[in-house]
Structure 1
């Protein structure tokens, strides 16, 4: 199973060789993948490999064996795509639940999408948070982090990137909820491991 959260280059392009190389039977994707060159190529590859495509919407659940369930929290089935900025706002948010461990994966959603999740009372409390939009200042609001209340957070971000991610304010807000933060620009590849009771984090390199 592969989840394509949205059609931005940095989220979708790397999935194409995954589909081509491995036997991926199902893909869950956002209903707002658009019709750009990258999205069209993506769908051509899916068609050529016979991969089954499932359009995501809020309320879906996917069971992966007996011990892991994916709860799709966003976008809603009736979301409206108005502008290119909505690609981030309508990207897939899911909660992976394995026993007592809960992992919230937030793709590139912004503060408005966070507000919607809070307003709807979605179950957001998580052991681990994948910080939205590479730690951009447009996401990870105080209200959102207070409800998620993660013990661990991972920021996927390029070293010395031109966007200035992660934002200092986001790091301060994560510190305020007493969350241990791991960053790919500092720690390299990061693995989250759980047996459903205890959670471990392994990183390619140590940074202090």
Structure 2
């Protein structure tokens, strides 16, 4: 297993390599594979880019993102301007049913609510909002109303998820998959946070999934 010192150096190298973030503004500490990011960046999408950049590193078990978003003076916007921009942006995303997502903005923090039928629509709403100037954070509280599964499809759902994991190079034998009434429960282990995220995404992609209970351990 990689040491915390070696992992910290890899995280610093990866942040320096990522062109979307200013690595000089980010502090990094590592304890038992948990990476804590501190400092400040100019936008929420840069904060997200820092998380994404290091999530795939071997040895990263979890990320605590304490980076503060400090918007430049020239892109400061009040809440009603941000809310209007978010609403317009959501209307232009074809993956999201028109009117399905509601928006609340308070001090630059955006809360998304409403109901959609698939996880990719929930994710599309988040991705539409997080790059906007003025946004300091996004809480995605959109719920999923999945299509009803056929009776007796539980075994098929488990097998579909396992095949999806194998196609992406994630050892399915190290994970247990259970499904009941639209809730998929994942347990077992993955080798990295990146593989963990692939497993969770595969569970969400299964037809009829309305909730994923994540009990995976990262070794």
Question: What is the TM-score normalised by the length of structure 2?
Answer: 0.23
Larger RCO: 1 or 2 (CA < 8 Å, sep 6+): 2
| Structure with max Cα Rg | 2
Give the number of the structure whose residues are more often helix, by fraction. 2
Question: What is the TM-score normalised by the length of structure 1?
Answer: 0.24
